[in-house]
Chain A
Amino acid sequence: MKKLSIYRGRFNLFLLFYFLLAPWLVESLEAGMDFGPADFQSRVSGTVTDMDGEPLPGVNIVVESKDIGTISGLDGSFSIEAAADDMLVFSMLGYTSEMVAVAGREDILVQMEEDVTALGEVVLNAGYYTVSEQERTGNIATIKSEVMEKQPVSNPLAAMQGHLSGVNIVQNSGVPGGGFSVEIRGRNFINGESDPLFIVDGVPFGSQSLGSFDVSGQIFSGNISPLNAINPNDIESIEVLKDADATAIYGSRGANGVVLITTKKGRAGATRFDAHLSTSLSQVSHYLDLLSTPQYLELRREGVNNDGFGALLENPVFDGFWPDINLWDNDRYTDWQKELIGGTAFRNNAQLSVSGGSARTQYLVSGTYQRETTVFPGESRYKKANFHSNIGHRSKDDRFQLDLSTMYTIEDNLMPRADFTLQAYTLAPNAPALYDSEGNLNWENNTWDNPLASLEEEYAVKTNTLMANAMLSYRIVDRLVLKTSLGFTDYRLSSYRTLPHTARNPSFNLTPQSYSSITTNTSLRQSWIVEPQLQWKKKFGELSLDLLMGTTFQQQATEQLVVRGRGFPNNRLIYNLNAAETVQVLNDQDSEYRYNAIFGRVNLKFKDRYILNLTGRRDGSSRFGPGRQFGNFGAAGLAWIFSKEPLFGEGSVLSFGKLRGSYGTTGSDNIGDYRFLDTYTVDGEDYDGVAILRPSGIFNPLFGWEENRKLEMGLELGFFKDRVFINGSWYRNRSSNQLIGIPLAATTGFSELTGNFDATVENSGVEVDLRSVNVSTDRFKWSTSFNMAVPRSKLVRFDGLETSTFADRYVIGEPLTIVKLYHSLGVDPETGMYRFEDYNGDGEISSTDDREWVEDLAPRLYGGLGNTLTWGNLTLDVFLQFKKQRAYNTVRFNATPGYSGNASVELYDRWQEAGDITSFQRASAGLVIGGNSADTQQRRSSAAVSDASFVRVRNISLNYRVPNLDNGLDINVYLQGQNLFTLTDYKGPDPEQTANTRLPQLRQLTLGLQVGF
């Protein structure tokens, strides 16, 4: 293993060398590279302006034959080496590209026309290369900063919700800092890993949380999204790579799709200061209808009586069984939702940035501060400070280019130990007051657990995220460019949770010495990546060739230390582990992941309309055992821009038409490190002073890559000079060689074994994107964007499913997202109990044989519709998100009236006597053993799933640009609303987040001001 450390040393040396060399290289190159003009070349200079004659800085100018490029300066001027017969291509976002022949001139004036549709020159980031929207062969969805800026959110994933076809993003919790789940084109893998690969400015970004369940389990389910560190306002664009053509170059990590995040860069121009201030108010958008006190107590008493314990109600020995009925004030009513999750959360955000630069060097520096509170009682808050900088440089001869970006974010989150949502939904409506008359926590003679006790218990998390990356490129000779991308990320999380004795019932006589404890989690993830690449472009007549070859070295190291200190002299010292009587290490672990690859791309274009794109990658990953580490992946993409065929003339209604298709393989190693080893784990516990070693894994060397084959066909059509643009695609992804935890019988000593399993999952579907500019006059503009995905998923093959432990979860021909349920036949009017369909006719309802009702909980159709209207200086954006789906409803939480704890008011309509036709069965207090089986079954039955389709006004924004300020001031005022209104029949907390244990996403209103000068 000594060998490895040599490798590591070598890499560090290399990194150091490159960073030290970079600035020096610039100077030497600038100084020395522009001597000796090449043969037949002459310097062509000129100016670029818009149609009004105003100079245009930042226009890309490329000599077509040689792929040499430069950018226009502040005054629109440029200068480039070109032969007398060369063509120059001028391009810039928002303007129609111009092709200009040099024709022997030395001074050229170019006027660029604004593109009304803004569709023409969209360049997409495909990761290792860029491709124009027109010429792409793969499926790449994108969201630009203009769209994200209109949404007052603090996590970039939130800004993407609904905007990208085939990308399903669901917010897990309305608590600031919480996580999201992301699925691109459905679930491919049985083991449930659906996270795509996130890449920020070329550097893979670990999106897995480093939270520890011991610390944050009850507030975020342990899931703290690292993507919170990226300020949505710092993002220039997000591209989502979906099909094989786009993702195969990411090989083993591309199976679940790739999300590329590109941050903002400095632009050539005068120094510009921008300030952005905003304030948001948020509240829970939907409350549940719960039982009132009289209703609740009526059901409770009825339940106890029905259970046959009515007589015991009179016996004080059993008062502890039902404090709500016998001990608490029967006339009291508290709206616990209002009390516990009914607050208003505030968010204040301030961002300052400076940018500018010359044609050769541009910079951007931006800082953001954000403070956010919660809807919970208490002093919870989330603070975030973010710093982002970018510097770009290109040498005078345009051979050398450098781009450096750094982002640093500090998050400081202080939350109650547990999410109050479950308590808000389930506390008895007559539960006692939170505080007694002296303002102390009220324990009501030890008959309840005061929910606010958890405010005494703090949960705090601080994270520091550093991302730095450099892209160096050097054109060695004409057409051959050497690029190296270097990246480093450092993510640190430090959190603690305190349990002071004051949060417990005083009658337990707990003391700080005996009870108080703190649990801390200190975690670190560091990764570096080096990707040297060679790119070569050449044109042979009507054939152009673009080649890319590169290699990747990546290492990621993770460390986690979870420590618990218990027993403090007093609670003031609880934050200091030194003061603890005992300190126990709950978890001290590290893991290392190494990854090595070579990759390449060949792009052939004939006559500007026939395009072939081949990509491939050979990957090696440390997550697999010896001999199984390497895998090959590749894809082919084809496109035919038929609108460029002579058949379609200049004046044709069809301004653009393209057919494209792709097929290829990607893989997944998304299974965690070291899973192939037969291992013992040290987990921090001990017996009589001897630290214990626990068996933790069964040896399985035959552990290999999951495979994913993607097929896609697409049709893109533009009408009326691309003012209407339609993009439709059909895909079919098949995933096989699934890595799953195969459940084992307990007699093996383990609950599961991770291994490859011969099962195939197919995801297919249709996606449609539509953009149109409906009206475009000087005074008024109206544009629309629409996207929709109709996914289908099924388990195609699973050998021996019937006899396997997955038999009760999956069905061949059905998606992975199904649940198997009992078929509820409603309440029997005679007995008052739920009835279920007896599928196997054996007279009994059993979990093995009678859960045959299948419901799919994945969306059947989803998408978004956006409209932008501009009248002069006023802009209105309305974005609707829609989903057609089914989901668990409130029956899932409670199906029987009379149980302890509040529930949906629907339960009041219950069976009382023979002949009653009701939707809920007779009341029960749940005290009869086996008597609750109908309740459990109903909660796992067809009745617990209902339609949860919705149309949501995800975002409305009204923006006013203060007109005609002569002093150069640029002022925008806006009012934005997020998650404003939801049209749905669904009765649970939120159709997208149906659990009753987590805070649903909030409704948010933001007022903001942007000033630039």
Chain B
Amino acid sequence: MKRLKHNTMLYKGRTLGIGLLWPLLFMVLGCSDFVTVDPPKNIMVSETVFEDPATVEAALANLYYAMREEGMVSGNQGLTTRLAIYSDELDYFGNDLDLLGLYQNAVLPDNGEILAWWSQAYGVIYGANDIIIGVDASTGLDQGEKDRFIGQALFVRGFMHSLLVSLFGDVPYVTTTDYTVNNEVSRMPESEVYGRIIDDLLMAESLLENSEVENGERTFVDRYVVKALLSRMYRHTEEWDRAANLATELISSFGLEDDLEGVFLKASTETIWQLKPGEEPRNTQEANQLIIFTVPGQTYAMSEGLLSAFEDGDGRREAWVESISDAENTLTFHYPYKYRASFSETESLEYSIQFRLAEFYLIRAEARARLGDIPGAQQDLNAIRNRAGLADTMASTESELLGAILRERRAELFAEQGHRWFDLVLMDRVDEVLGALKPNWQTTDMLLPIPESELEANPNLLPQNPGY
């Protein structure tokens, strides 16, 4: 009996002890360590991203992804369709008011497409800047890796600014990641922006000097891609020697695809840079948008003007244009058929091509014509014409040639990244051509408006472009 009592006393003491001890223990342990947690598995703290080449690759992949899916470069809102309706390539049959605004050259400063282009471009530029700055400061990467990463990021920064400056005129050239600075940036004169783009590209060219895309699919940026954009930029700044020299380098490294049907396949020999689509067997967004599946129900269709721009016997009219009619066969629409399917049966066959060699034959032809090298210009122009099954050009003076080159660019590069629009602007023909064609056209439509909400968020971007 006594022993039992003792035991229960013991229990009592123990439970009391435990009861008292726990809260005390917690109060002792309760400290800031408990409320410090690891970052979750889907998030990396920025500093750690730049210490490992694999994660930098992933940060770079984000830039390619963003260019493919969002904004001006490709994807649903890419320049291809938007500038084709803004100029004279495609007619628009939808009822999206933002797109109707583009189609009718009546863009308002609150146009959602324009805001999306602007925001997405600077988002990509932020990503590029973060890589440039982070990789530069990194201690975990070797020099070769650093050059390769920074070279690609510099290209992307230059590329995005090149599109912005072509569409909006004076724009801020953003090179830091500091939001306090970037939140209050001012616009920089167009010529200075081109200077900064070319500086970035020259730097990228030297950093990527020995680089070449390894998988043969040309889905990443290497030195050739940088040269291609540089050549394009020198065309914009009318530095014809340089434009021609870079085009020559590309022409000597790539070859035109003989078969027109093969030009837009992923293995085309003339592709300099293409963006690989998302999950297999998906192909390009361009195909998805441009191909007409049903009539009625068409969104875009080729304009009369574009259809009649092909000379008789032009193989491209056959190979790169398709048509569809309604059930009663009373209505027929034509659409670009460069990309032929929005998805394939088993694997992706078409990628979104950003630079292909034909453009550089035409850039060199133009540069040579401007520099007075008439035979050289004819030779380059003929390379493109002959491939399309057309005879040599009859143009023999500089101005005839420039006219012929503009026509050739229209037939060769139609419905691709807004080439037609940029050509009309660069060759100073836009007022003449669109003024005659589109009732709402005004000279000030040459530049798009800076998005209204951005002017509100950062008054340093004022004044708005004229005409808006």
Q: Spell out A's residues near B (CB within 8 Å).
A: 1, 3-4, 7, 14, 21, 25, 28-29, 31-33, 35, 316-321, 323, 327, 445-447, 474, 476, 482, 484, 505, 507-509, 513-514, 530, 532-534, 550-551, 553, 566-567, 581-582, 584, 587-598, 620-622, 626, 629-630, 673-674, 677-683, 685-688, 690-696, 698-699, 743-751, 753, 803, 805, 808, 847-848, 900, 926-927, 929-930, 932-933
Contact = CB atoms under 8 A, between A and B. Distances in A.
B20 A693 contact: no
A929 B34 contact: no
B106 A930 contact: yes
Contact of A321 (B32, B44, B95, B172): B95
Contacts, number: 280
Contacts of A530: 26
Given A590-B40, A747-B172, A749-B125, A553 B26 contact: yes
Nearest to B104: A929
Interface string B14-35: 0110111011001101111111
Contact of B95 (A682, A687, A900): A900
Q: For B49, B106, B183, B276, which residue has the most chain A Cβ atoms within 10 angstroms?
A: B183
5 contacts: A33-B12, A320-B298, A695-B46, A698-B179, A932-B97
Given A316-B330, A589-B42, A930-B108, A28 B11 contact: yes
A870 to B, nearest CB: 48
A749 B427 CA distance: 33
A929 B296 contact: no
B118 interface: yes
Contacts of B34: 7, 553, 594, 596, 620
Q: For B32, B219, B454, which residue has the most chain A Cβ atoms within 10 angstroms?
A: B32
Contacts of A553: 26, 30, 34
Contacts of A316: 330-331
A751 B44 contact: no
B261 to A, nearest CB: 22
Contact of B452 (A4, A588, A750, A847): A847
B39 A679 contact: yes
A31 B100 contact: no
B10 to A, nearest CB: 10
A321 B295 CA distance: 12
Contacts of B5: 35
Contact of A505 (B101, B130, B281, B294): B294
A587 B20 CA distance: 45
A420 to B, nearest CB: 22
Given A514-B343, A744-B457, A622 B35 contact: yes
Given A446-B296, A629-B35, A692-B61, A25 B15 contact: yes
B179 A750 contact: yes
A747 B173 CA distance: 9
B126 A320 contact: no
B355 to A, nearest CB: 17
Given A596-B35, A927-B100, A688 B457 contact: no
Given A447-B296, A688-B219, 4 more contacts: A31-B8, A476-B20, A747-B183, A805-B456
B138 interface: no
B58 to A, nearest CB: 4
B23 A533 contact: yes
B57 A690 contact: yes
Contacts of B215: 688
B279 interface: yes
Interface string B119-154: 100110111011000000000000000000000000
Q: For B184, B279, B451, which residue has the most chain A Cβ atoms within 10 angstroms?
A: B279
A618 to B, nearest CB: 9
B61 A589 contact: no
Contacts of B2: none
Nearest to B5: A35
A291 to B, nearest CB: 19
B35 A595 contact: yes
Across the A-B interface, give the 9 residue pairs with the lowest CB-CB distance, nearest first.
A749-B126, A320-B296, A32-B8, A929-B106, A745-B458, A690-B61, A532-B23, A746-B119, A589-B42
Contacts of B100: 927, 929
A659 B293 CA distance: 76
B35 A746 contact: no
Contacts of B317: none
Interface in B86-106: 93, 95, 97, 100-101, 104, 106
Contacts of A622: 35-37
Interface in B331-348: 331, 343, 345
Interface string B395-436: 000000000000000000000000000000000000000000
A691 B58 contact: yes
Nearest to B459: A803
A803 B184 CA distance: 13
Contact of A482 (B23, B46, B122, B172): B23
Contacts of A933: 108
A1010 B144 CA distance: 79
Nearest to B440: A929
B30 A551 contact: yes
Given A553-B30, A748-B183, A805-B457, A691 B61 contact: yes
Given A687-B62, A745-B457, A748-B183, A476 B30 contact: no
A748 B33 CA distance: 34
B122 A747 contact: yes
Contact of B174 (A320, A447, A581, A747): A747
B112 to A, nearest CB: 12
Interface in B278-322: 278-281, 293-298
A686 B65 contact: yes
B454 to A, nearest CB: 6
Contacts of B327: 445
Contacts of A929: 97, 100-101, 104, 106, 108, 440
Contacts of B19: 474, 476, 482
Contacts of B32: 620, 626, 629-630
Nearest to A567: B281
B44 A484 contact: no
A748 B176 CA distance: 9
A320 B93 contact: yes
B40 A591 contact: yes
B64 A687 contact: yes
A898 B220 CA distance: 50
A592 B37 contact: yes
Interface in B162-216: 172, 174, 177, 179, 182-185, 215
Contacts of B18: 21
Contacts of B65: 685-687, 692
Interface in B432-463: 440, 451-452, 454, 456-459, 461
A447 B16 CA distance: 79
Contacts of B125: 749
B140 to A, nearest CB: 15
A736 to B, nearest CB: 23
A847 B64 CA distance: 36
A680 B343 contact: no
Interface string B31-70: 1111111111111111101000001011111101100110
B26 A532 contact: yes
Given A7-B34, A688-B64, A746-B118, A551 B97 contact: no
B197 to A, nearest CB: 16
Nearest to B124: A749
Given A321-B93, A745-B454, A695 B127 contact: yes
Contacts of A320: 93, 295-298
A509 B324 CA distance: 15
Contact of A682 (B42, B118, B122, B461): B42
Contact of A750 (B9, B26, B126, B129): B126
B392 interface: no
A553 B35 CA distance: 10
A847 B330 CA distance: 45
Nearest to A595: B35
